[in-house]
């Protein structure tokens, strides 16, 4: 096992009846800004419940945070936080709203140009307005981590940052808030959480059986629950499993003490930035191609994944790896995902634009992944395998 320092400061309030408990965790007298997205939380009654639970605080609202939250919109929220001397943020929505609130929290107290936060991947953040998260979409784990991903339209770029200062103080995880999600978004959540686990699990062995078994357990739960939760949106127990699994998939626990990849995410971000694909849809294209191209580097863990997650018992190591990649692709396709660029009418011409975008984001001689081997040549091969 690798050395690690692990701290997750976010309090989780989990269940159908936890809203009344949240106000106790917000400083008395703090002016609160509730941030939300396109208005689904207003229409489905979630907002009314949030406002009722904040009845002892002065509350302002900021709506309109887009999927893949935009820097330009968030900077308007930053101005509001500064003008109105907001002391606490509450993000109600999917990962986009929660990520957006994290950026607002850090940018409002940042001395200098807030774009630097993204250019320096969060390393210069010294303080942030405290925030809480009320996720309405089980997917990103943003409600219990210190990461955010922001899109800047005018530069066609999507950038991530992380900082200990933007961990939510608390997260209210109420599975009933997800009942109104369209099947497409639930499928996105399942795939996003699944790939989060794989980015931390499918690397190389470091004798970390605790992390491996946690990761395999989460993958099994996601496989078990996927069909039920899609078919029965109001099955509370299935949604509760999905929600907790998605949070645990990216709250730092399974990634502590093990190598992590994340190259599929970083390559996928360019597909969103250039062509607007949903985040999870990008992963379903890039991940199978990555596993195929980098199967040598990932060989031992791919065989372990085949055996323990997919129950593949027979065959040579290579045959097991083929089976695991094929079963992963088939799982994504069963959930309605395209797993090739051609499914989105993208081809070789688009690959050169994607490669240029990766260079713009990470520099001309980037080297991503757990072994820093995902260079421009390997990224080219990954795109080639995903056509
Ligand atoms: N912070 C992290 O660790 C992390 C990890 C992975 C991805 N991300 C980022 O998160 C973003 C994606 O977040 P997401 O997958 O949660 O989706 P999202 O927040 O973009 O939401 C997708 C859509 O679902 C709608 N929606 C949300 N909840 C709803 C509900 N209960 N009922 C009806 N509609 C609802 C939203 O209005 C939106 O239109 C991307 O920008 C991605 O890069 C962040």
Query: What pLDDT, in 10s, does the model give residues 297-315?
Result: 999 999 999 999 999 999 9
Q: Quick check: is 2 in a domain? A: no
Q: Quick check: is 351 in a domain? A: yes
Question: Where a domain ends, among 177, 198, 224?
Answer: 177
pLDDT, tens digit (0-9, with 9 covering 90-100), for 40-55: 999 999 999 999 999 9
- Say how far apart CA 232 and CA 73 lie, in whole Å: 35
Residues 339 and 363 in one domain: yes
* Domain span at 54: 11-177
pLDDT score recorded for residue 274: 95
- Say how far apart CA 225 and CA 227 lie, in whole Å: 6
pLDDT, tens digit (0-9, with 9 covering 90-100), for 56-106: 999 999 999 999 999 999 999 999 999 999 999 999 999 999 999 999 999
Quote the ligand 1 centre to 94 CA distance (angstroms). Answer: 4
Quote the ligand 1 centre to 135 CA distance (angstroms). Answer: 9
Residues 224 and 353 in one domain: yes
Residues 262 and 299 in one domain: yes
Residues 43 and 129 in one domain: yes
Our answer on whether the CB atom of 63 is closer than 6 Å to any ligand 1 atom is no
Number of separate domains in the chain: 2
**For a pLDDT cut of 90, what percent of the chain falls above it?**
98
Question: Where a domain ends, among 158, 177, 196?
Answer: 177
pLDDT score recorded for residue 155: 83
List b or e across 22-53, with b for residues whose CB sees 16 or more CB atoms inside 10 angstroms: beeebeeebebbbbbbbebbeeeebbebbbeb
- Say how far apart CA 202 and CA 387 lie, in whole Å: 22
Q: Quick check: is 339 in a domain? A: yes
pLDDT score recorded for residue 356: 96
Quote the ligand 1 centre to 96 CA distance (angstroms). Answer: 5
Q: Quick check: is 228 in a domain? A: yes
Helix-helix angle 263-275:279-293, to 10 degrees: 130
Phi-psi region of 315 (alpha: psi -120 to 50; beta: other; left: phi over 0): left
Question: Where a domain ends, among 162, 177, 192?
Answer: 177
Q: Quick check: is 55 in a domain? A: yes
- Asked whether the predicted pLDDT for residue 153 surpasses 90, the reply is no
What is the number of other CB atoms lying within 10 angstroms of the CB of residue 157? Answer: 18
Residue nearest to atom 34 of ligand 1 (CA): 181
Our answer on whether the CB atom of 95 is closer than 6 Å to any ligand 1 atom is yes
- Say how far apart CA 35 and CA 23 lie, in whole Å: 16
CATH of the domain at 63: 3.40.50.1970
Average model confidence (pLDDT) for the chain?
97
pLDDT score recorded for residue 58: 98
Quote the ligand 1 centre to 4 CA distance (angstroms). Answer: 29
Residues 152 and 223 in one domain: no
Token pair 């689904």 is found at 40
175 closest CA partner among 238, 218, 239: 239
Quote the ligand 1 centre to 195 CA distance (angstroms). Answer: 15
Residues 143 and 232 in one domain: no
- Residue 357 confidence class, pLDDT cut points 50, 70, 90: very high
pLDDT score recorded for residue 384: 97
- Asked whether the predicted pLDDT for residue 157 surpasses 90, the reply is no
pLDDT score recorded for residue 185: 96
Residues 151 and 223 in one domain: no
Take residue 100 and report the two structure tokens written for it: 């957006």
Rounded to two decimals, the pTM is: 0.96
CATH of the domain at 221: 1.20.1090.10
pLDDT, tens digit (0-9, with 9 covering 90-100), for 197-215: 999 999 999 999 999 999 9
Our answer on whether the CB atom of 99 is closer than 6 Å to any ligand 1 atom is yes
Q: Quick check: is 4 in a domain? A: no
């Amino acid at each position: 096992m690798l050395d690690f320092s692990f701290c997750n400061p976010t309090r989780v309030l989990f269940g159908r009846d936890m809203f009344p408990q949240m106000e106790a965790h917000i400083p008395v007298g703090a002016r609160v800004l509730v941030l939300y997205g396109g208005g689904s939380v207003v229409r489905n009654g979630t907002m009314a419940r949030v406002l009722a639970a904040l009845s002892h605080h002065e509350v302002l609202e900021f709506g309109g945070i887009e999927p893949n939250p935009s820097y330009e919109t968030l900077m308007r929220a930053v101005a509001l936080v500064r003008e109105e001397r907001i002391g606490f943020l509450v993000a109600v929505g999917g990962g986009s709203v929660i990520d957006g609130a994290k950026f607002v929290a850090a940018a409002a107290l940042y001395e200098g140009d807030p774009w630097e936060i993204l250019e320096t991947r969060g390393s210069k953040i010294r303080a942030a307005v405290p925030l809480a998260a009320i996720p309405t979409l089980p997917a990103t784990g943003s409600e219990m981590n210190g990461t955010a991903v922001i899109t800047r339209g005018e530069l066609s770029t999507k950038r991530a940052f992380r900082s200990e200062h933007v961990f939510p103080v608390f997260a209210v995880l109420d599975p009933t808030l997800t009942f109104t999600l369209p099947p497409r978004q639930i499928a996105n959540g399942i795939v996003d959480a699944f790939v989060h686990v794989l980015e931390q699990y499918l690397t190389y062995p470091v004798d970390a059986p605790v992390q491996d078994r946690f990761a395999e357990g989460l993958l099994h739960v996601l496989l078990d629950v996927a069909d039920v939760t899609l078919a029965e949106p109001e099955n509370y127990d299935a949604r509760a499993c999905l929600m907790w699994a998605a949070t645990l998939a990216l709250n730092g626990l399974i990634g502590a003490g093990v190598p992590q990849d994340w190259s599929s995410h970083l390559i996928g971000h360019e597909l969103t930035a250039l062509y607007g694909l949903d985040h999870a849809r990008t992963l379903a294209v890039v991940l199978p191609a990555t596993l195929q191209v980098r199967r040598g580097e990932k060989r031992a863990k791919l065989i372990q994944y085949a055996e323990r997650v997919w129950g593949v018992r027979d065959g040579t190591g290579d045959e097991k790896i083929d089976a695991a990649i094929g079963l992963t692709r088939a799982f994504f396709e069963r959930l309605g995902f395209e797993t090739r660029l051609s499914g989105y009418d993208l081809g070789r011409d688009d690959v050169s634009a994607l490669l240029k975008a990766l260079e713009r984001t990470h520099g001309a001689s980037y080297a991503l992944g757990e072994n820093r081997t995902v260079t421009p040549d390997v990224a080219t091969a990954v795109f080639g395998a995903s056509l």
